Amino acid sequence: MSSFKKTFFQSYNIGKCIGKGGFGMVYAGIRLIDNKPVAIKTIKIERLKNWEKERQIPIEITLLEKVKTINGVIRIIEWYKVWKYFFIVMERNENEIDLFNFITERKFLNENLAVSIFTEVLNAIISCYNVGVLHRDIKDENILIDVKTYNVKIIDFGAGCFIKNNDSCYHDFNGTRLYSPPEWITDNIYLGKEATVWSLGILLFDMVCGDIPFKTDEEIIFGKLIFRKGLSKACKDLIKKCLSKNHEKRPTLQEISNHKWISSRKNY
């Protein structure tokens, strides 16, 4: 038994699976020294696509280490290499569920709750961007919400990357296709900021309408937005701007932060 394997299994108990994705499985775990709940992500080495070359570890670990002090982002505790796997140990709050289930239980979110959640996500994304990290898979399933406090955390940086010089375009993308922008579907071009803004528009529509707006490539490219009745003009305006088919017309992250839908509801 390797020292890493021995140390890991002497330190943690692994429980039931609580999540899975394209890059690994996530299990509920307990840290034995203090019975602290943790989340343990297992990643099979042969399935890894993105590596940090210097340390020969998944880029996800490097990204998590970079953003671990940012509010609204899941915190990595430590990691292990065990046989054919990497194990990433992260914090776990037993009051949290993913935003997908949170929305499903309520059918849709009222605008006052939506703006609170959306603003937290936006601020976390801006903070990640400021330290050079792009998440590249913002969606309801990758956001945890505490059902008591409504505080949120972004999880799963498996599709993430470090920002290139001048945030130039990327020609690789392993995020969720239904959250990807038209320029990726048509030209395989992923522009960091502009694509992030598009995914935020999809997320906001999902929160206030109860489902994502587009279900096929054709709808992403040509589809029109059909809003739930009763939404404010300001909310619809922000969504329309974020989901502009022309990436050059989408707002910046800071412009989203300053949008009247957010600024007029900051006291809620």
CATH of the domain at 46: 3.30.200.20
Question: Of 91, 122, 137, which one is at a domain's C-terminal end?
Answer: 91
Nearest of 124, 145, 30, 25 to residue 77 by alpha carbon: 30
- DSSP character for 93? -
Distance of CA 229 to the CA centre of its chain: 28
Q: Of residues 117 and 56, which shows the higher confidence score?
A: 117
One domain for residues 106 and 217: yes
One domain for residues 196 and 237: yes
Q: Is residue 147 part of a domain?
A: yes
Question: Of 40, 70, 91, which one is at a domain's C-terminal end?
Answer: 91
pLDDT at residue 22 is higher than 70:
no
Look up residue 16 and give its amino acid. Answer: K
Average of pLDDT values for 140-156?
Answer: 97
Average pLDDT, the chain: 92
Q: Is residue 101 part of a domain?
A: yes
| Overall domain count for the chain | 2
Question: Of 91, 122, 150, which one is at a domain's C-terminal end?
Answer: 91
* Residues designated as active site: 137
CATH of the domain at 169: 1.10.510.10
One domain for residues 102 and 56: no
Q: Is residue 125 part of a domain?
A: yes
Q: Is residue 145 part of a domain?
A: yes
How far is residue 152 from each of residues 182, 212, 253, measured CA to CA in Å?
Answer: 28, 20, 18
One domain for residues 79 and 45: yes
Give the pLDDT of residue 101.
98
Q: Give the pLDDT confidence of 152-194 residue by residue, as tens digits.
A: 999 999 999 999 876 667 877 878 899 999 999 999 989 999 9
One domain for residues 41 and 126: no
Give the pLDDT of residue 51.
62
B/e letters for 60-89, b = 16+ CB within 10 Å, e = fewer, are bbbbbebbeebebbbebbebbbbeebbbbb
pLDDT at residue 268 is higher than 50:
no
Q: Give the pLDDT confidence of 30-44 residue by residue, as tens digits.
A: 999 999 999 999 999
Q: Kindly state the percentage of the chain with pLDDT values over 70.
A: 94
In whole angstroms, give the CA distance from residue 37 to residue 93: 7
Q: Is residue 168 part of a domain?
A: yes
One domain for residues 69 and 24: yes
Q: Is residue 268 part of a domain?
A: no
pLDDT-derived band at 2 (thresholds 50, 70, 90) equals very low
Q: Give the pLDDT confidence of 186-215 residue by residue, as tens digits.
A: 999 899 999 999 999 999 999 999 999 999
Report the range of poorest mean pLDDT among 2-11, 74-83, 101-110, 239-248: 2-11
Binding site feature residues: 41, 91, 98
How far is residue 93 from each of residues 75, 152, 265, measured CA to CA in Å?
Answer: 11, 11, 28
In whole angstroms, give the CA distance from residue 157 to residue 160: 5
One domain for residues 201 and 214: yes
One domain for residues 102 and 191: yes
Alpha helices in the chain (DSSP H): 3-11, 59-67, 99-106, 111-130, 182-187, 192-209, 217-222, 233-242, 253-257, 260-263
Nearest of 88, 103, 107 to residue 144 by alpha carbon: 103
State the residue range of the domain holding 106: 96-263
Average of pLDDT values for 118-133?
Answer: 97
One domain for residues 59 and 75: yes
Give the pLDDT of residue 47.
74
One domain for residues 15 and 132: no
In whole angstroms, give the CA distance from residue 180 to residue 195: 7
One domain for residues 182 and 101: yes
One domain for residues 108 and 73: no
Binding site feature residues for ATP: 41, 91, 98
Nearest of 21, 20, 44, 18 to residue 29 by alpha carbon: 18
Would you tell me how many other CB atoms lie within 10 Å of the CB of residue 259? 18
> Is residue 166 helix, strand or coil?
helix
